[in-house]
Structure 1
Amino acid sequence: MSQKPDLASLSFTQRVVLLGLVDEARDSEMPVTALEIKSRCTSLLDLVEVESLSTPGEQDIMRALNGLSADPAIEEHTNQQSPAGKGRPRYSLAADGDAILELLAEDDRLADAIAAVSE
């Protein structure tokens, strides 16, 4: 679990999603759905310090997860199917959550959200 994402290549939404995934990993069993991550991100965004930020929608979260799934720090699991027969990806961390928090701490806008996750 030594893989860490490249922070410079991550959008702000991807950073928040990654933080939400770390937070979710600490509180629940992995892997988790995009909807679970979205809920976590919505709560964390209340703590983020930026002047103008809209809450990302489900499509924003999915785009961020799609981008992050190529990163070695994230694992995408696609073996579960919905009742309609479509695969519903689930996500888990392949990296140490504390290492990711250290990395994300380089983005000052996330300081309060990281503190909440670290508690």
Structure 2
Amino acid sequence: MTGADIDGVDPFHRFVLLSVIDLRARDDVPVHSFDVTGVCEDLLDEFDDLDGMVPGGVTRQRVINALSELESADLLGEKRKESPTGKGRPAYALDIAEDEVLDHLEDDDRFGDAVERIRDRRE
């Protein structure tokens, strides 16, 4: 993975990718769109710098679209995970080096504080 891979997606997609990494730090992988949506909302509540990236707010449909596009860009891998009711639902796992993503996003002032919090959680 290179910084160019991440630079190829817009800030909202980077924000969703950061949320996937945050879930991974909690050992909650592979992730579902509803979990990622919740983390996105939590990050927006906690970090004011992220608000400008999400005009119109976070919706589950926007997150679903972003996850699919990140998978198409080879930044995430799609997995199948069965729900307790037996339905197969798409789930996603990071297909790239997490530390490289965090290093790259840390250089962006909008993500710096969130990256620091995620790194602290991993320790």
TM-score over 0.5 for the pair: yes
Q: TM-score, normalised by structure 1?
A: 0.82
Q: Gaps (5+ residues) in structure 2?
A: none
Q: Number of residues paired by the alignment?
A: 116
How many percent identity over aligned positions? 26
Q: Gaps (5+ residues) in structure 1?
A: none
- Measured in 2, the distance between the counterparts of 1:51 and 1:67 equals 21
Letter in 2 for 1:7: I
1:62 maps to which of 64, 73, 76:
64
1:25-76 C-alpha deviation (Å, 9 max, x unpaired): 0102321111111111111122141564443100110111111011333111
Aligned to 2:73: 71
- Measured in 1, the distance between the counterparts of 2:23 and 2:50 equals 23
Q: 1 or 2 for the larger relative contact order (CA 8 Å, sep ≥6)?
A: 1
Aligned to 1:43: 42
CA drift of 1:82 comes to 8.0
Output the aligned Cα RMSD. 2.3
Q: TM-score, normalised by structure 2?
A: 0.79
Residues 106/79 of structure 1: CA separation in 2 closer, same or farther (3 Å cut): same
